[in-house]
Amino acid sequence: MKITFLGTGTSQGIPIIACDCKVCRSTDKKDKRLRSSVMIEVNNKTIIIDAGPDFRQQMLRENVKSIDAILLTHGHKDHIGGLDDVRAFNFKLQRPTSVYANKETITSVKRELFYAFENHNKYPGVPKIDLQTIENNEFFIDGIKILPIETLHYKLITYAYRIGDFTYITDTNFISEVELKKIRGSKVIVINALRRKKHISHFTLSEALAIIDELKPEQTYLTHLSHIIGTHVEVEKELPDNVKIAYDGLKINC
């Protein structure tokens, strides 16, 4: 399994518009963060988790020619705002794009891309999306087992996903013991660590490290980082050996 970090930033990305902090002004390319998303290549299939407003740019940067499915964690704009751009794949592959999400997220997608789901007078150039409703139990995409993991993003249910020994967790600050059991045994975990100060809906750096210490994966990567957590170089110096900061374009194997 090959994982590519398409984006590792928070909802505003880094740099943030009109911000002059040292992180936003950093010349280190690892401090330039698009909205969070990963691409998973396994068994000759390509699965994307989340398609935010930077989806087009991410697909172009990684020279992606085909995708087989998109998994959505939740319905916030920074995770679904790029779905219109699946039109390019529709045209090239001559098929709709399969998008998997829970019922609440699918409602958000239909509201965001209302024009793609109209029953009458539908414009011929709209994206073709095959919405697949999933619940909090395993399902399969072309024989690949996907295990959703229910977490809370304040009061909103968001899904983490486990594929084989890889688990991707974003936009949460609460995972129940029942759901943690689904993650245990993962060799590689990606988890959000927004900032250092307590946040209403995201893990802080210390909270993420506490989860990592409990689960003890072989390797962990931090994602969904804000500009106030510090520069890539600064934060990585503070981390244990089995924890690294993810950055846009990073590729790992699992």
C-alpha pair distances (Å), 51 with each of 39, 93, 187: 10, 18, 25
Report pLDDT digits (tens) over 194-212: 999 999 999 999 999 999 9
Q: What is the 3-state secondary structure (H, E, C) of 96-127?
A: CEEEEECHHHHHHHHHHCHHHCCCCCCCCCCC
CATH architecture of the region 2-253: 4-Layer Sandwich (3.60)
Compute the distance between CA of residue 54 and CA of residue 75 in angstroms, rounded to an integer. Answer: 15
Q: What are the φ and ψ backbone dihedral angles of 131, each rounded to 5 degrees?
A: -80, 130
**Band of residue 94 on the pLDDT scale cut at 50, 70, 90:** very high
Burial of 141-177, coded b for 16+ CB within 10 Å and e otherwise, reads: beebebbbbbbbbeeebbbbbbbbebbbbbbbbebee
Q: What percent of the chain has pLDDT over 70?
A: 100
Compute the distance between CA of residue 252 and CA of residue 247 in angstroms, rounded to an integer. Answer: 11
pLDDT for 213: 96
- Whole-model pTM? 0.97
Compute the distance between CA of residue 131 and CA of residue 135 in angstroms, rounded to an integer. Answer: 13
Compute the distance between CA of residue 169 and CA of residue 166 in angstroms, rounded to an integer. Answer: 10
List, in sequence order, the alpha helices (H) in the chain. Answer: 55-61, 77-80, 87-93, 103-112, 177-183, 205-215, 232-236
Span 217-229, average pLDDT: 98
Compute the distance between CA of residue 139 and CA of residue 143 in angstroms, rounded to an integer. Answer: 9
- The residues near 2 (Cβ < 8 Å, ≥ 6 apart) are 40, 41, 42, 251, 252, 253, 254
Report pLDDT digits (tens) over 157-181: 999 999 999 999 999 999 999 999 9
**Taking the domains of the chain in order of start, what are their residue ranges?**
2-253
pLDDT for 122: 80
